[in-house]
Structures are given as C-alpha cells and as structure tokens.
A and B are shown apart, each in its own frame.
Chain A
C-alpha cells in the first residue's frame, strides 16, 4: 500500500457528512451576545512591576520609621 492509497483510505473512512452545525453555533453566539461581559484583566506582572514591589516592601522593612518616611516623600 502506498502513502497515497493509505491517505485515501483514511479520508474515505472519515467521509461521513456532518450535520449543518451553523444553527447550533448561531444559537451559541446569540447567547454569548446576550451575556457578554466586560472582562477586566489584571495587568501582567512584568519584572519591572516585581522589582518595584520588592523595592517598596524592602524599603518599608528597612526604614526605621516607615510612616514618617512615607510622609516625608508625600506618600502619606
């Protein structure tokens, strides 16, 4: 058996015509449209964000008076 014969055989075996699935899909799309939500995505945590968070936490831990420190920089 050649590759082409094998391919033809496999295709013939799966050559069962499907039902028209468009009405089902159209109904699903109508449902989607009716319940469409605005999805809020959390911004991706890039290395810059991670570095900023680490710097903030470390600063607050290391500085002796964090509240005063934040007030001095106008953040409190």
Chain B
C-alpha cells in the first residue's frame, strides 16, 4: 500500500519539504474538499473559495520553512486560509463600496438546480445571518470538521470560547433551518 495514504499530515509535509512533490499532491487532495467547503461557507462563493484553496497551498509552500515541526499542520493551514478569506472579504467590501467596480461582480457559482439548490441557498443565508465569529466557528466545525482544540488554535481563542460560539451558532442555525428537516 502507498505510504502516503496512511501517513500523517506532518509526515507528508516533511516529505514535501524534503523534495517529494507527490507528497504535496497527496496533502493537497486530503485538504481540498473540506477547506473548499469551509471557505465557501465563509464567502458564499464557490469560485472564490476554490481560488483561495489554491492560494492557501501556494502560501503553505512558500512559507514551508516557517512551519514549526512540533506543532500541528492542520491549524496552520486553516490559519493561512482564514487570513486570506479576511483579506478577500475586505476587498469585496471595498469593491461594493466603490461605484465603478460595483458591476464587476458576476455570479460564478456552480450551484445545483432544483430542491438541492434551494436548500443550499437557505443554508447559505442561515450561515450569513450568524455573527461573523459564530459563523467562522460553525463553518470550521461543521464543514471543515476540525476539533475544538484545532478551532481554538486557528481563531486564537480558548476552547471554552469556541464551545460557547458553537453552541449559540448551532442554536441559531437550528432555529433558521428547522423547517427543512
């Protein structure tokens, strides 16, 4: 069996730093879907989320020497993605504010049609209705499937704070989506 399928993220990353390009591909394929789901949940734009997934891994590669071997890789990758998503939101706000660029935004989503599309739109609206900090924690937990400790590391808060934000965020989501059961 290929060792890459069983290897930890940190081992794959170490192999990449040692010059094994296939290890980086394996690592990327492991992260692509959950990271894209999370960024989509934060930005509500699948195309933008895909761009940021690629950009996140470019940064991971560029700053590979900054990664401290005694820490976990997953929170580091999600922290990079978080910073990129914040910058993207800031640019989007500015673009909406500037009149000349207001018409630049085009719908670029590849959303499924029909009932699935409606459900997706409802869930996107429900996530968007959450306060930013609750939305981030809910997205990291529900879409990226990070542990509470990892979320605390990414957001720079305590596990207690993460639990609290998750509790209130999920309660609000249940209220908003209750009729979709």
Contacts and interface: CB of A to CB of B under 8 A. Distances in A.
- Dominant secondary structure of chain A at its interface with chain B: helix
Chain A, interface size category, equals 20 to 34
Nearest to A24: B54
Given A16-B110, A18-B32, A10 B123 contact: yes
B123 A9 contact: yes
B12 interface: no
Interface in B2-54: 24-25, 28-29, 32-33, 36-37, 40-41, 46, 50, 53-54
B111 interface: yes
A46 B8 CA distance: 36
Nearest to B57: A25
A17 B54 CA distance: 15
Given A9-B123, A16-B46, A24-B54, 17 more contacts: A5-B181, A6-B170, A6-B173, A7-B142, A9-B177, A10-B142, A10-B143, A10-B173, A13-B119, A13-B124, A14-B37, A14-B143, A16-B112, A21-B53, A25-B28, A26-B25, A32-B62
A65 interface: no
Contacts, number: 82
B177 A14 contact: no
B58 interface: yes
B11 to A, nearest CB: 20
B142 A11 contact: yes
Chain B, interface size category, equals 35 or more
19 contacts: A1-B177, A10-B123, A10-B173, A11-B142, A13-B122, A14-B143, A16-B110, A16-B112, A18-B32, A18-B33, A18-B36, A18-B46, A18-B50, A21-B28, A21-B36, A22-B32, A25-B57, A29-B58, A29-B61
Contacts of A3: 170, 174
A4 to B, nearest CB: 10
Nearest to A17: B33
B90 interface: no
Interface in A21-46: 21-22, 24-26, 28-29, 32
Interface of A: 1-3, 5-7, 9-19, 21-22, 24-26, 28-29, 32
B114 to A, nearest CB: 13
